[in-house]
Amino acid sequence: MFSDAADEAISDEVVDRVGRGSLYVALLAAWTAMMGSLYFSEIRGFVPCELCWVQRILMYPLAGIIALGVLRQDVHLPYLVLPFSLIGQGVSTYHYLLQKTDLFAARACTVGVPCSATWINWFGFVTIPFLAMVAFLVITLAMLVALSQGVPDPEDHRPQWHRRELVPVAGVAIFSLAWYSALALNQATAGPTAEPSTFEPAPLRGPLTPAGEDPMALLEGERLYQEVCASCHGMDGRGLPGLGNSLVDSPFVRERSEEELVAMVRAGRPADAPDNRSGVAMPPSGGRPDLTDEQLGAIVRVIRAWNP
């Protein structure tokens, strides 16, 4: 009899630990996602697209809602969180598919970064929407675990601010802030970015067609420019305030060969590059890692035509 009672007590304790742990996992995921997105936009200079803003609207409140719910042991916490995380999961999944597949038509943007633009492409598949998708998934699963384990416990509903949950909640917040501060400090002390003229041309993925030899290639370059570059540099190439520099009558373009410009576009430009007066980063390959060097060359030839 005593053994059964002891086993039941141990089982209840394990269930309680698993349930409470899931809440802290969700809290850590929400804070990490929020600080990570701020790092990408405010430190790295990556401009959020429309779908990125939607995901922020859904993620940022969770950093506060989960923290308060854990502190107050709010029995309604999973029901408050799940609508945000499930909708966010859907938006981020759609955004990722928009970047990586042809299932959906590309979102046309008159101004701003296209939603199909790819700022990072780690290991060939990890993009910013992918990171958001993982964060929303972790939060959703953690809330489902909390529900299944009956956590928070309605019999333990004591909304005091001095309860033991304050320590791990504060720990998560301090860890996230320290991590963000370390990244910011590292970026600030990294020193100025090398002059674009020092870029080594990347290995080309095909021969570049000499300018003026193929009118159809020029038309293709104009089409690609409108699709990839116009949202930041303007339809006429004269730039947009706070987004992209003017590419017309540009000494930077005139002083570099076609191969150097292709290599620069392929590498992208950080926000703190010496000649980047916009203060906004340019994603590698203009946010289109699928473009070949021949296609980037077609875009470059259009730009060079504006700089005789």
Question: Tens digits of per-residue pLDDT, 208-263?
Answer: 444 444 666 677 888 888 877 877 787 788 877 777 788 888 888 888 888 888 88
- pLDDT at position 131 is 96
Of 50, 57, 18, nearest in space to 136 by CA: 57
**How distant, in Å, are the alpha carbons of 106, 247, 282 from that of 141?**
30, 47, 35
Provide, rounded to the nearest whole percent, the portion of the chain with pLDDT above 90. Answer: 24
In whole angstroms, give the CA distance from residue 43 to residue 119: 13
The alpha carbon dihedral of 77, 78, 79, 85 has a sign of positive
- pLDDT at position 163 is 57
Res. 93: pLDDT tops 70 = yes
Evaluate whether 231 touches 110 at the Cβ level (below 8 Å): yes
Question: Tens digits of per-residue pLDDT, 264-307?
Answer: 888 888 877 777 776 678 888 887 777 888 888 888 888 888 88
* Terminal Cα-to-Cα distance of the chain (whole angstroms): 93
Topology at the third CATH level for domain 196-305: Cytochrome Bc1 Complex; Chain D, domain 2 (1.10.760)
Evaluate whether 65 touches 81 at the Cβ level (below 8 Å): yes
- pLDDT at position 144 is 94
In whole angstroms, give the CA distance from residue 96 to residue 91: 9
Evaluate whether 69 touches 82 at the Cβ level (below 8 Å): no
Res. 201: pLDDT tops 70 = no
Question: Tens digits of per-residue pLDDT, 162-172?
Answer: 455 666 666 66
pTM of the model: 0.66
- What residue spans define the domains of the chain? 2-188, 196-305
- pLDDT at position 139 is 97
- Torsion, Cα 273 123 127 65, to 10 degrees, reads -110
